[in-house]
Every structure is written in C-alpha cells, then in structure tokens.
C-alpha cells in the first residue's frame, strides 16, 4: 500500500472517530450544552457512516426490532434484562446492525429523547432506553466509564451477563486489533495521541484527536508497549475484513418501519427483507433458499406484530405486509403458547436462519 493511500485511509478514519465523538456527545452526555451541535454533527455522522461502509462491501445481516417491547416490561430491571437478552442474541449470531424502530406515523430523523439526556428517565422513550442499553453492552467494559456518563437507566446493567464478544478483550490478551478511547494526555513534541486500549499501558496513535473518542486501533505484532512506534487507527470494518473477526453490532434508531429501510446506511440499501410472524409462510429451515445477498434485514414486530407496525406507518398506508417484505415467514410453527415474546422469537428465528444464511453467503463467495 502506497503512502498516499495510507494517508487517505488515515484521514477517513479520523473523520469516522470524530463523528463517533459527536454521537457520544449527543446521545450519552447529560445536560443541554450539545443541543446546538445536533443537526450538523448528525449529518456529518451519517455521511461518515456511509463512507466507511462504502470502503469495502462485505455481506451483512441486520435485525430490526420494535422499541415497543420495552414498554411492556413491568419494571426498569425487567426492561434492562429484556434489552440484555436482545444484545446477547445479536452477539451470539454475529449480527452486524441492530435497528430499533418506533411506531410513529410520520418520519422523524431521530427521537428527541436520544439526544437530550438528563439523569432522570422521565422523558426517555422505550426505544431510546433500548438503544442506550444496546450501545452500552456492545462497548468493551474498560471503555464504558469514559464513554457513558452516569445515568439512572443504566443502574441495573451490572446484573446482565457480559456479551464476551471478540472485541471485549481482557487485560492480558493480545489481538491484532483493540477498541480504545483517546485521552487528554498527548505525546510531547509529536503529532500523536495517547489511547487507552485496556492494556497495562496506554498506546500512542499517529494522529492528533480530541479526547473521549472511541477508535479501533491496529495493534500489529509488536507486543512491546514501551516501543516508541505509534499504532494506527483503522476502520471498524478492518478486523472483519483482514482477520475475519466479528467486531460487534452497530445500533441505529428509526422512527417507524419505513425509516428502517429508508435510512439504511449501506450503499444500495438492503437487498433482501424478511419479516417474521406467526401468520407467515411455514418452510423448514433446511428447505429455505435465500438469494445471494449483500445486506440482509430480518424484522421483528412489537406486541401486535409487524402488521400493526405497517398499518400505523403513514408511508406504507394501504400496503399489505407481504408487499413490504420479500419473505414473510413463520419461524416457529405449531407453538404451544398463544404468544411468543420478541426476545424469544429472536433466538428462535436467528437459529432458524443460520443454515439458509450460510448457504446464501457461500454463493456470494463463489
């Protein structure tokens, strides 16, 4: 790789991490001082996300889940446990993106409760709460204190089982990549920034960045932390592209089901949409044939299913659920209970889709 190409990649990565900082400021910091920056920073973040994804298209699997499932929880503790189950399922089945959607009739770019954080949970919607817990759990433990201010809705997260994802590394473990957070401290007389990557000693990177930004750092093969050689900030896609490592899920908010599709961050959008419902078509997993895809989306409805989500969406007025999705499937036929809870349906369905997805991905590779 030439020097110019490396420089270009570094600049792109710098833009990405700057926008990561913007997201943390808007969505995870108490107070109102960041409201003025909201529109500009959100726009930059969306553009940066799309640039990162364009860098190298690799097959992805996304799930869309109605935020209304949180509203049915009888206490904050139970709501936290529910969100934790979804996070575990997403990690176990290597999901790339989790989209939490509301059932609002009109399009909204964002939920206000996602960007106006107060310590109190009085104004936080179920979807905003869901997004907060999912993002918190996806973040490596050693970064959470720096990236997530204290919030009353996080008070039960300590009871949840850890995701134990590949990027949640222990202090004694070495890996080609690590997640880190930039620090206030700078390397004297150099254009470098110190980063906490969860090891016994901080490492330096070959860029000057603001403190409090989450970055993905290429650690290389040199395990000597006393070395003067700086590490490199890379795209969050690099671990998967170069090492085949699952590197966690990204979380996105959508105001309604149509926004799930409209605001897709992948170039060309999702190329195959799957809806799940007890009213869907019954096909054995071994007989299900999915087309070769680049970006697959599997949707799960709320308390009344996907049918109600579509009826309440003014952008999909008059459309049948089978017109919206390419496949509409019942992944758990002959159920003994009248209802299957969404957190149960996700585990059942993602296991059901494992082999069909693997067969489709095999065709992509060919």
Confidence category of residue 206, pLDDT binned at 50, 70, 90: confident
- Distance in angstroms (rounded) separating the CA atoms of residues 359 and 264: 24
User: Looking at the domain assignment, is residue 27 inside a domain?
Assistant: no
Q: Which residue has the higher pLDDT, 125 or 86?
A: 86
| Model pLDDT for residues 141-152, shown as the tens digit of each residue | 999 999 999 999
Query: 120 and 220 share a domain?
Result: no
The answer on 198 and 310 residing in a single domain is no
Q: How far apart are CA 227 and CA 201, in angstroms?
A: 11
Report pLDDT for 1. Answer: 45
Longest dimension (CA), the chain: 69
Tell me whether residue 43 is in a domain: no
pLDDT score at 20? 47
Helix (H, G, I), strand (E, B) or coil at 280: strand
Per-residue confidence (pLDDT) for residue 18, from 0 to 100: 45
SS3 335: coil
C-alpha 326/C-alpha 254 separation (Å) is 20
pLDDT at 108 over 70: no
Give the span between the Cα atoms of 98 and 134, in whole angstroms: 9
66 strand-pairing partners: 101
Q: Are 217 and 223 in contact (CB under 8 A)?
A: no
Asked if the structure places residue 171 within a domain, the reply is no
**Model confidence over 44-57: pLDDT tens digits?**
444 444 444 444 57
Same domain, 65 and 144: yes
Same structural domain, 350 and 223: no
Report d(CA 139, CA 246) in Å as an integer: 14
Residues 97 and 131 in one domain: yes
Is residue 180 within 8 Å of residue 197, measured between CB atoms? yes
Percentage of the chain lying above the pLDDT 90 cut = 65
Q: Which of 189, 220, 243 is the last residue of a domain?
A: 243
- Exposure of 327 in the CB half-sphere (CA atoms within 13 A): 19
Three-state secondary-structure class, residue 250: strand
Asked if the model's pLDDT at residue 41 lies above 70, the reply is no
Mark whether 230 and 280 lie in a shared domain: no
Tens of pLDDT, residue by residue over 310-348, are 998 989 988 899 999 999 999 999 999 988 999 999 999
Assess whether 288 and 351 both reside in one domain: yes
Q: Please report, to the nearest 10 degrees, the dihedral formed by the alpha carbons of residues 178, 184, 189, 194 taken in order.
A: -10
Quick one: 304 and 275 in the same domain? Answer: yes
State the pLDDT confidence band at 27, using cuts at 50, 70 and 90.
very low
Q: Give the residue from 243, 276, 301 where a domain finishes.
A: 243
Give the predicted TM-score (pTM) of the model: 0.81
CATH code, 205: 2.40.50.140
Residue 279 lies in a domain: yes
Model pLDDT for residues 229-253, shown as the tens digit of each residue: 889 999 999 999 999 999 999 999 9
Task: Pick 287 or 107 by higher pLDDT.
Answer: 287
pLDDT of residue 188: 75
Highest mean pLDDT out of 23-37, 184-198, 293-307: 293-307
Do 313 and 256 touch, CB atoms closer than 8 A? yes
Element (H, E) at 349: helix 342-365
How many structural domains compose the chain?
2
CA distance 140 to 148: 11
Tell me, yes or no, whether 205 lies in a domain. yes
User: Range of 187's domain?
Assistant: 177-243
What token pair was written down for 304?
A: 């009344």
Q: Are residues 222 and 198 in the same domain?
A: yes
DSSP for residue 296: E
- Residue at which a domain ends, from 216, 243, 270: 243
Q: Quote the distance between the C-alpha of residue 216 and its chain's center.
A: 15
């Amino acid at each position: 790789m030439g020097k110019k190409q490396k420089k270009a990649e570094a600049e792109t990565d710098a833009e990405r991490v700057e926008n990561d900082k913007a997201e943390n400021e808007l969505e995870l910091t108490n107070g109102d001082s960041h409201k003025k920056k909201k529109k500009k920073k959100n726009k930059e973040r969306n553009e940066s996300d799309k640039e990162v994804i364009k860098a190298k298209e690799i097959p992805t699997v996304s799930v869309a889940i109605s935020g209304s499932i949180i509203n049915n929880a009888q206490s904050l503790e139970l709501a936290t446990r529910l969100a934790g189950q979804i996070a575990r399922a997403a990690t176990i089945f290597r999901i790339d993106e989790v989209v939490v959607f509301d059932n609002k009739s009109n399009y909204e770019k964002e939920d206000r409760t996602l960007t106006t954080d107060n310590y109190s949970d009085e104004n936080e919607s179920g979807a905003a709460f869901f997004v907060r817990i999912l993002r918190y759990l996806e973040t490596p433990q050693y970064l959470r204190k720096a990236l997530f201010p204290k919030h009353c809705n996080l008070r039960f997260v300590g009871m949840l089982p850890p995701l134990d994802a590949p990027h949640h590394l222990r202090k004694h473990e070495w890996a080609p990549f690590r997640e880190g957070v930039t620090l206030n401290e700078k390397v004297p007389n150099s254009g470098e920034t110190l980063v906490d990557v969860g090891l016994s000693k901080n490492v330096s990177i070959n860029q000057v960045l603001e403190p409090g930004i989450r970055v993905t750092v290429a650690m290389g093969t040199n395990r000597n932390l006393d070395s003067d050689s700086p590490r490199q900030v890379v795209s969050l896609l690099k671990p998967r592209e170069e090492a085949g490592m699952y590197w966690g899920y990204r979380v996105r908010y959508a105001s309604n089901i149509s926004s799930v599709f409209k605001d897709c961050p992948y170039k060309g959008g999702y190329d195959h949409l799957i809806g799940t419902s007890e009213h869907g078509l019954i096909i054995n997993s071994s007989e299900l044939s999915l087309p070769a895809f680049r970006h697959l989306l599997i949707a799960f409805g709320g308390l009344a299913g996907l049918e109600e989500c579509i009826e309440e969406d003014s952008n999909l007025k008059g459309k049948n659920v089978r017109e919206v999705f390419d496949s509409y499937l019942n992944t758990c036929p002959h159920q003994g209970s009248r209802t299957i809870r969404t957190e149960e349906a996700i585990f059942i369905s993602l296991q059901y889709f494992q082999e069909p997805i693997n067969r489709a991905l095999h065709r992509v590779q060919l």
